[in-house]
Amino acid sequence: MIILDEQQQAARTWFESLRDRICSEFEAIEREAGSDATFGYTSWNRDDDPEAKGGGGVQGLMKGKVFEKVGVNVSTVGGAFSPEFAKTIHGAGDNPNFFATGISLVAHMANPHVPAVHMNTRFLVTTKRWFGGGADLNPPLPNPDDTADFHARLKEACDAHDPAHYPRFKQWADDYFYIPHRKVHRGVGGIFYDHLEGDFDVNFAFTRGVGEAFLDIFPKIVRRRMNEPASAADRAQMLEYRGRYAEFNLVHDRGTLFGLRTGGNVDAILMSLPPLASWS
């Protein structure tokens, strides 16, 4: 069992409340499409791990008419990194103990015209305390209007806190969500930030702003595209694109590695993988 301080509890409570509101909105979209799909929730814990300080999380998963597969996970864990892994983590080189809480979301959509999406925000404590996260859009069939609206909403969230955030964090996303062996970007970008430390209240407010921006814009894009007709060729392109998405998450994604190296729930960690994909 881990004992949380005031900042850790505040972050955990926010991530869980954001999860609840996102899942409710996604279920509402399913009802609008004539589906009765709802999220199923599976709890997991690390209290039986003698090398861990405990904690755990809840995996939320829904498979519906609009959301072919969407996972919304929250976790709050503590423990100690292995000595080698600690060297790769901000502030953990001299002390491997850590605390982490966050929300992670990946949605793979049934209609190829609706973009897949990823969103994650987190709060980590080593010898330092920092927030990280972001959101990025991953359309199999990119639409310039959707891309522009997604970026505009994220820019608005950034500009409310620091005008320098958006250009910096957009470039960070462009650099991070890149598949070197394919020489292509995973999607059309968004924002990505990490190691945002210093004033807890300021950085927590920004992280909440990112979550609110995602909850505002992504459902609008889904409703805009979910009833568009799609051809067999559109579907084939979506499945091939999903292969690229899987390659990035299995080979390059730091969040996947972090979860696997810290004793997280494997099914929750790998919920980011698409239900179907193809390599032609």
Backbone angles phi, psi at 78, to 5 degrees: -145, 160
Name the active-site residue from 118, 151, 165, 185: 118
What letter does residue 147 receive in the DSSP assignment? H
181 is catalytic: no
Whose tokens are 């979506």? That residue is 238
**Helices and strands of the chain, counted as H and E runs:** 8, 9
Q: Which tokens belong to 137? A: 């859009």
Q: Which tokens belong to 234? A: 């559109």
Contact indicator for 101, 81 with CB cutoff of 8 Å: no
Q: Which tokens belong to 125? A: 């404590």
Long-range CB pairs of 12-16, under 8 A, 24+ apart, other chains included: 12/74, 12/76, 12/101, 14/204, 14/207, 14/208, 14/211, 15/74, 15/101, 15/102, 15/103, 15/121, 15/122, 16/74, 16/103
Indicate which residues carry an active-site annotation: 118
